[in-house]
Amino acid sequence: MPGSDWRKYPPDNFPPSAAVSYGRDEYGLWYEFAVRGVVQKMRWIVPGEFLMGSPGNEPEREEYERQHSVQLTQGFWLADTACTQALWTAVMNNNPSHFKGESQPVETVSHDEVLEYCQRLNELVPELSVGLPSEAQWEYACRAGSTTAFWWGDELLPEQANFKASNPYNNSPEGEWQGKTVPVITYPPNPWGLYQMHGNVWEWCLDGLRNYSDDAEVDPVGPLAGDDPVGPLAGDDPVGPLAGDDPVGPLAGDDRVLRGGSWVNHGRWLRSAYRLANTPGTRNSHIGFRLAQSAPKESKQ
């Protein structure tokens, strides 16, 4: 976990060349890029160590969430919000989303389509080199130094996230189910300035599921396209439902990780440690994504 003074140390080559604005606030360093008039803020996530997965006493946990130490040796940039429909449309000139709204997350996008989107965005803004976070990067940023079920603690309230609040987590109070997505800046950000890492839409990660180790890991990445499935999660047992009561199916082959839970899910699926995966071609109204970028290659002079 970063020390208390980590915000004092910017990454090399800050600000990035793509920045139209940049600065430092209570959450740390940030910069914004723009494409066809639509602006996205990126937050600097420093390298560090954290406990990935859930402890054995976390309510409603899954056995494949084995808690283990992970070190991320490289910092990275992460979008402060899920990709909006405005940002998607600025690049792709279409909007596949079921629930329309420029400030709502784009959804009904497959992993394959998201990778195509990132390629086109990088071409439109040549200084960019954005993609998707790894599963480890995603959980590290979601937790923001926490070890609890959610970044704010172990209780999940309807005013903290967009989920199926009529099915709460671990005896938390019930609430009204909104039954749709909400704008990407609706609930308070986590301590690193990231909005809605829990709920609203599932977020695609770059890699596939890996079998968690009992030992400490350094920069772990699950299988990528064309790789063999890793560990027992590559078998035939369904991990759990993506929506409603229907199983996802085997977590095998080229399946890609989804994290964070969504507007349609019960509370337990919003936990920081909860893992899901689906085929790269899957589209649904509760699946979106969040942009990530490695440290910039050069700075403005």
Span 253-288, pLDDT tens digits? 589 999 999 999 999 999 999 999 999 999 999 999
Q: Residue 215: how many CB atoms within 10 A of its CB?
A: 7
pLDDT at 227: 56
Contacts of 249 by beta carbon, 8 Å cutoff, 6+ apart: 238, 278
State pLDDT tens for residues 25-74. 999 999 999 999 999 999 999 999 999 999 999 999 999 999 999 999 99
The neighbouring-strand residues paired with 30 are: 23, 43
pLDDT at 225: 62
pLDDT at 10: 73
pLDDT at 153: 98
pLDDT at 226: 52
Give yes or no for a contact between 295 and 13, defined as CB atoms under 8 angstroms apart: yes
pLDDT at 254: 82
Tokens 């499935």 correspond to what residue? 229
pLDDT at 155: 97
Query: Where do the structural domains in the chain lie, given as residue ranges?
Result: 6-294
Q: What angle do CA 203, 204, 206 make, to 5 degrees?
A: 140
> What DSSP string describes 256-282?
EEEES--TTS-GGGGSTT--EEE-TT-
In whole angstroms, give the CA distance from residue 118 to residue 194.
20
Residues of the chain with pLDDT under 50: 1-4, 6, 228-252, 296-301
135 DSSP assignment: H
Q: Which CATH architecture has domain 6-294?
A: Alpha-Beta Complex (3.90)
In whole angstroms, give the CA distance from residue 121 to residue 223.
25
Phi, psi for residue 137 in degrees, rounded to 5: -60, -40
